[in-house]
Structure 1
Amino acid sequence: MFRTSDIVLIAVMVAAAAMTYTIKRNAEVQVAAVHKLKAQIRTEEDTINLLKADWSLLTQPGRLQKLTELYQPQLELAPVGGRQIVGMDALPPRVLSIENLTAEKFDLEPDDGILGQDPIATGGIQ
């Protein structure tokens, strides 16, 4: 008949087989997850390449020039003048402190004429 050692060895073999199956199944799940992630990465790379191509098409100078000419009355665009470009050292310094930031009030009335505009001129444009 069976000895005690035979029963113990059979139990160890069954446990080892169950452990091997569990490890194999977990590995298969992980491999499937890796394949799914690789497919998502490929899709995202294709999307990025498509968006880059679309951006190149939309930013072609000829196309932008035609749009500028078409919408000139609405946009009121004008070429940049040489006096509009200044260096950083030509800009007036603006000192900010915590007191200035906390003391500012934004209660402008519509008849002030400057609603939505910054009342402080900081650029070189006059």
Structure 2
Amino acid sequence: MFRAFDLLLIAMMVVAATITYQIKHRADEKLQEVRRLEAEIKLEHDTIDLLKADWALLSQPNRLRKLVESYNGELKLAPTQPTQLARPSELPMYRAQAPQTEASAGVDATGNKTGSVFGTVIGGIAIPAIRPDTMTTGSVNR
């Protein structure tokens, strides 16, 4: 009787040792994966730092001025005027994103209402006929 109990305890110890080994093995695999991911992250951070340094070097005003002077004859570059800059609200939007209300209807070149705030559609992008910051918005019907 005592021998059967001993055999049972030995079997339980073997099962417990096997389970412990499997858990330790899985933990080691996870640790290796974490180290691999940390190495990849470090590589990405180093690459980002290198690209930032390259960008700082390439966008130096003195370097850009020299490039403008050397290629000015070919490219005919001119300084950007403050009036050439647009606010985000002035940028064109897709027709599906535009508000469609009667109060904000546009007027065509002949003075007739077009029923839309857009004067032209180019490549699927609606170009406003009137300035977006002067438009009144209403509810959008979907």
- TM-score normalised according to structure 2 size: 0.59
Larger proportion of strand? 2
Return the offset for 1:77.
1.4
Percent of pairs with identical residues: 43
CA distance in structure 2 between the aligned counterparts of 1:5 and 1:76, rounded to whole angstroms: 96
1-side partners of 2:61 and 2:70: how far apart? Answer: 14
The answer for the alignment partner of 2:14 in structure 1 is 14
Amino acid at match of 2:73: P
| Amino acid in structure 2 at the alignment position of 1:75 | L
Q: Relative to 1, partners in 2 of residues 1:14 and 1:32: Cα closer, same or farther, differing over 3 Å?
A: same
Q: 1:86 Cα shift? A: 7.5
Note the 1:20-59 alignment, pairs <5 A. Answer: 20-59=20-59
Q: CA-to-partner distance for each residue in 1:63-93, whole Å, 9 max, x for gaps?
A: 00011111112221122346x35886xx7xx
Task: Map 1:99-114; keep pairs closer than 5 Å.
Answer: none
Unmatched 5+ residue regions in structure 1?
107-117
1:83-125: CA deviations, max 9, x gaps? x35886xx7xx9944x868xx586xxxxxxxxxxx987878xx
CA distance in 1, matches of 2:32, 2:7: 38
- The aligned length equals 105
CA RMSD of aligned residues (A): 3.6
More helix by share: 1
Distance between the aligned counterparts of 1:9 and 1:87, measured in 2?
81
Moved runs in structure 1, 4+ residues, more than 4 A?
Answer: 85-88, 118-123
Distance 1:81 1:36 in 2: 50
Of the two structures, which has the highest relative contact order with CA contacts closer than 8 Å and spacing of 6 or more?
Answer: 1
Specify whether residues 56 and 13 from structure 1 end up closer, same or farther in structure 2 by C-alpha distance, changes over 3 A only.
same
Q: Secondary structure at the match of 1:71?
A: helix
Task: Give the distance between the partners of 2:51 and 2:85, measured in 1 at CA.
Answer: 35
